[in-house]
């Protein structure tokens, strides 16, 4: 795997990791330290330290998580460079998500409000499987929807590649004759999509639908003679999805109708977070310290009921923790990799489904991160890191490895 391909992202992530370590250690001048590190020692008459982070322990934990996700990406990048191995990784992830979705559907049908053997304390009536938060699980099964849709489209394309001159009826007969392989992707897609609807997550469903439509459209742009048929299929997908929601998605539709009331609290939290960013624009409050810094900015516009330990906007939370320069570096590192997947999705011939998955899954988690914190959950982040690694690994032909 030529390191030069990801050098820009690697350098940026390394710089961010070093800065996070610096935030947690008392190595900078007192002028850079958080003001509380001077107030607390004076008040309690105890020795203090001088750290940028308001909570160095949480910052070091955040660094550990970031490096873990980077490690998963690196392993997937190396293993996924072999096309066969990359395909196996993607398929296994898709079927694993299906297994979690099927488990959640069984619990939901049974009426068991449990997470494994524990009683659920929140999101009663919503399908969460082994996740606590319905929105995080929606992002997780959303990735499964994208994976299985792309794999299904690829299988259909391969099966019909040598049958372009056949009448449509004979193509369908051939499809039925190979139904076992067709169902290998179609049935899991049905399972994960049903689970997605029953999470009742507005942002999770909307982000997934955008990613699925984008994946379908991008795949069809390279099918030439099948483009018109593909667009008809896309229209059918949207119509069927809309009908499905109208028939069985009453709770989801009700939550969409209540979007204004639910959004007001988050908007106030965003405004408070922006005020905090304004106080620490360059050095941040410490990576992973939102729950420590936010109480100082929580005002009467935010209900006193409940604990806000996440911003519900990953971008704002990262900017607050890292400071604007380091946050931009981290965002650019990921965007560079996503851009490589986008280029591969357009340019590759063999194996283009893998960078297409990497790109469209990035759109999904990127959109959802604007209104929630799913990408900050380890189960979602590690799965996404693996898919992005395989997508980047297959973004160019092996013939160009010498470049």
pLDDT of residue 402: 45
pLDDT of residue 304: 77
Question: What is 344-364 written as a DSSP string?
Answer: HHHH-STTTHHHHHHHHHHHH
pLDDT of residue 156: 80
Q: Where are the domains of the chain?
A: 57-261+305-400
Instruction: Determine if the pTM surpasses 0.85.
Output: yes
pLDDT of residue 151: 94
Q: How far is Cα 74 from Cα 234, in angstroms, rounded to an integer?
A: 34
3-class secondary structure, 159: helix
Q: What is the bridge-based pairing of β-strands 118-119 and 114-115?
A: antiparallel
Q: How far is Cα 101 from Cα 195, in angstroms, rounded to an integer?
A: 6
CA of residue 180 relative to chain centroid, distance: 31
Q: Which residues of the chain have pLDDT under 70?
A: 28, 40-48, 161-179, 222-262, 398-403
- Non-local (6+) Cβ contacts of 5 within 8 A are 340, 392, 396
Q: What is the DSSP letter of 120?
A: P
Can you tell me which residue has the tokens 């929606």?
Answer: 138
Can you tell me which residue has the tokens 């997605």?
Answer: 196
> Under a CB-based contact definition with an 8 Å cutoff, are residues 311 and 320 in contact?
yes
pLDDT of residue 259: 56
């Amino acid at each position: 795997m030529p390191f030069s391909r990801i050098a820009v992202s690697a350098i940026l992530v390394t710089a961010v990791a070093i800065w996070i370590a610096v935030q947690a250690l008392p190595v900078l001048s007192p002028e850079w330290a958080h003001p509380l590190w001077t107030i607390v020692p004076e008040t309690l008459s105890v020795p203090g330290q001088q750290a940028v982070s308001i909570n160095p322990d949480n910052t070091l934990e955040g660094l550990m998580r970031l490096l873990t996700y980077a490690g998963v990406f690196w392993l997937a990048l190396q293993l996924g460079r072999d096309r066969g191995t990359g395909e196996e990784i993607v398929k296994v992830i898709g079927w694993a998500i299906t297994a979690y979705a099927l488990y959640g559907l069984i619990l939901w049908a049974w009426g068991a409000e449990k997470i494994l053997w524990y009683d659920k304390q929140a999101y009663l009536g919503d399908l969460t499987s082994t996740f606590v938060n319905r929105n995080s699980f929606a992002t997780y099964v959303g990735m499964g929807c994208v994976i299985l849709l792309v794999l299904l489209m690829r299988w259909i394309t391969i099966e019909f590649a040598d049958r372009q001159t056949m009448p449509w009826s004979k193509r369908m007969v051939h499809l039925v004759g190979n139904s076992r392989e067709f169902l290998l992707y179609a049935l899991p897609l049905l399972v994960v999509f049903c689970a997605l609807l029953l999470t009742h997550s507005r942002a999770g469903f909307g982000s997934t639908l955008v990613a699925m439509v984008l994946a379908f459209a991008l795949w069809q742009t390279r099918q030439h003679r099948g483009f018109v048929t593909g667009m008809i299929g896309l229209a059918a997908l949207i119509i069927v999805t809309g009908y499905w929601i109208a028939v069985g998605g009453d709770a989801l539709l009700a939550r969409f109708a209540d979007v204004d009331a639910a959004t007001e609290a988050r908007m106030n939290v965003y405004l408070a977070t922006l005020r905090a960013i304004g106080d620490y624009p360059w050095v941040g409050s410490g990576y992973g310290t939102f729950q420590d810094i936010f109480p100082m900015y929580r005002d009467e516009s935010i209900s006193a009921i409940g604990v806000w330990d996440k911003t519900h906007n990953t971008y704002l939370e990262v900017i607050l923790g890292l400071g604007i320069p380091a946050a931009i570096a981290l965002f650019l590192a990921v965007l560079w990799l996503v851009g490589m997947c986008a280029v591969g999705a357009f340019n590759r011939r063999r194996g283009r489904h893998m960078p297409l998955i990497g790109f469209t899954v990035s759109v999904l988690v990127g959109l959802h991160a604007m209104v929630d914190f799913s990408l900050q959950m380890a189960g979602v982040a590690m799965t996404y890191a693996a898919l992005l690694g395989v997508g980047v690994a297959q973004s160019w032909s092996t013939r160009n490895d010498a470049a």
